[in-house]
Amino acid sequence: MQYQISGIHIDVGDALQTHVKGELNDAITKYADRPTDAQIIFSKSGHEFVCDAIVHLSTGLTAQAKASKAEIYAAFDACAEKVEKQLRRYKRKLKGHHKDRNQSVEFIDPTSYTNPTKEGHKESATDSEPLIIAETDSKFPIFSAKEAAEELERSKLPFILFKNEEKKGVNIIFRRKDGNIGWVQLS
């Protein structure tokens, strides 16, 4: 993670930079998996020190906070507390503790994908009937997009095919190469 710690008309010393990196790193890694960068700017407004913090995550979330106190360390601590509160709420929103799932995800046994050959009949490429590679009677799990994203994170699968409980259509949610989640809604 990259830190940019600067001051406007204030000399930001090594001790303050070390304090900022340590405290902010602890707060961010507690609630976010892949932080990208953080920008902390110190300034002075009258007799108070002002701390502005902007933290970018790889998921696209930007947490911003501003605090002012009589001491520069107290201003940073108050600002870091606000950033940590935003990240905590974001993580809680992703987990969705308020809604329990009644239906579990059904995984299909890979051996059920192949079509068994008929007795006394060998399948060949010249048959008029097409060869069925995969056939299943299982039903799609019903999720909201948020629940499907959570299931994708938990299961570590490359994608999940599901019925959207809000739109009633078939959807695909997948992990993109950049680490973000992609969502395709089919009508």
Tell me the pLDDT band of 152, cut-offs 50, 70 and 90.
confident
Answer yes or no: are the C-beta atoms of 66 and 51 closer than 8 Å.
Answer: yes
Q: Is the overall model pTM greater than 0.95, yes or no?
A: no
pLDDT one-digit tens code per residue, 36-77: 889 999 999 999 999 999 998 888 788 899 999 999 999 999
Please name each of the domains of the chain with its CATH number.
2-95 (3.30.160.100), 135-187 (3.30.505.50)
pLDDT surpasses 70 at 138: no
Rounded Cα distance, 138 and 107, in Å? 9
**What pLDDT, on a 0 to 100 scale, did the predictor assign at position 127?**
52
Q: Which residue has the higher pLDDT, 20 or 140?
A: 20
Rounded Cα distance, 174 and 182, in Å? 5
Would you call 148 exposed, middle or buried from its count of C-beta atoms within 10 A (0-12, 13-18, 19+)?
A: buried
pLDDT surpasses 70 at 13: yes
Residues 6+ apart with CB under 8 A from 103: 141, 142
